[in-house]
Amino acid sequence: MSNAESYRGMNVSEFFAKHKEVAGFANPTRAIYQTIRELVENSLDAIDGSEEGRKTIKPHIKVVVEKVEASGRGNEEKTWCKVTVEDNGIGVPYTVMPNAFAKVLFSSKYVLKQARGMYGIGVKAAVLYAQSTTDSGIDVVSSTALLEDVYSRKLRIDTLNNEPIINAYGSWKKPTAWRGTRVSLVIECDWARARSKVLEYMARTALIAPYVQITFQTPEKELYIFPQKTSTIPPPPKEANPHPHGIDVETLKQMLAATKAKTFREFLERDFQSVGKKSSLYFIRELKKKVKEIKEDTPPAEVYQKFNGLLSTIVDMMKTFKFKPPQSNYLSPLGEELIVTSLKSMYKPEWAAAIRRPPRSYQGHPFIVELGMAYGGEIQPSEEPLLLRFANKIPLLYEVGEDVSYKIMKEIDWRQYKVEFPAPLVILVHVVSTKIPYKGVGKESISEVPEVEQEIRNGMLELGRRLREYISSKEREEEVKTKILAVSKYLPEIARSLVVLSKEPHSWKPPKPGEEKEVLLGLIKLVSSHVKLPEKESSEEVIRKILGVKKSGQG
Site for a copy of itself, residues 55 to 114, rule: CB under 8 A: 70, 72-75, 78, 90, 93, 96, 99-100, 103, 105-108, 110-111
Q: What are phi and psi of 405, to 5 degrees?
A: -65, -40
Distance CA 427, CA 406 (A): 10
Peptide bond into 422 cis (omega under 30): yes
Peptide bond into 98 cis (omega under 30): no
* Given 57, 145, 261, 386, the residue binding a copy of itself (CB under 8 A): 145
* Given 175, 309, 548, 553, the residue binding a copy of itself (CB under 8 A): 309
Q: Which residues pair with 396 in a beta bridge?
A: 389
Between 3 and 176, CB nearer to a copy of itself: 3
* Given 35, 42, 43, 134, the residue binding a copy of itself (CB under 8 A): 134
* Given 55, 56, 69, 135, the residue binding a copy of itself (CB under 8 A): 135
Between 96 and 168, CB nearer to a copy of itself: 96
Shortest distance in whole angstroms from residue 341 CB to a copy of itself: 31
Between 188 and 540, CB nearer to a copy of itself: 188
Between 16 and 375, CB nearer to a copy of itself: 16
Distance CA 189, CA 200 (A): 18
* Given 132, 171, 274, 454, the residue binding a copy of itself (CB under 8 A): 132
SS3 call for 109: coil
Site for a copy of itself in 363-382 (CB under 8 A): 363
Between 243 and 356, CB nearer to a copy of itself: 243
Taking residue 38's Cβ as centre, other Cβ atoms within 10 Å add up to: 28
Shortest distance in whole angstroms from residue 108 CB to a copy of itself: 4
Between 304 and 375, CB nearer to a copy of itself: 304
- H or E element in which residue 401 lies: none
Tell me: does residue 281 bind a copy of itself (CB under 8 A): no
Tell me: does residue 149 bind a copy of itself (CB under 8 A): no
H-assigned helices in 209-299: 249-258, 264-271, 277-290
Q: Which residues pair with 213 in a beta bridge?
A: 60
Shortest distance in whole angstroms from residue 54 CB to a copy of itself: 11
Q: What are phi and psi of 312, to 5 degrees?
A: -70, -30
Tell me: does residue 290 bind a copy of itself (CB under 8 A): yes
Tell me: does residue 317 bind a copy of itself (CB under 8 A): yes
Site for a copy of itself in 152-181 (CB under 8 A): 159-160
Site for a copy of itself in 30-59 (CB under 8 A): 30, 49-52
DSSP code for 438: B
List, as one string, the DSSP characters of 310-368. GHHHHHHHHHHS-PPPPP-TT-----HHHHHHHHHHHH--SEEEEEEPPPEEETTEEEE
Between 308 and 329, CB nearer to a copy of itself: 308
Residue in 186, 178, 156 with CA at minimum distance from that of residue 73 = 186
SS3 call for 54: coil
Between 93 and 325, CB nearer to a copy of itself: 93
**Residue 92 CB partners (closer than 8 Å, separation 6+):** 46, 100, 101, 140, 142, 144, 181
Tell me: does residue 507 bind a copy of itself (CB under 8 A): no
Distance CA 529, CA 153 (A): 79
Between 72 and 175, CB nearer to a copy of itself: 72
Between 403 and 540, CB nearer to a copy of itself: 403
* Given 79, 215, 251, 274, the residue binding a copy of itself (CB under 8 A): 251
Site string for a copy of itself, 196-235 (x = CB under 8 A): ----------------------------------------
Give the pairing type, strands 60-68 and 138-143.
unpaired
Site for a copy of itself in 413-442 (CB under 8 A): 435, 437-442
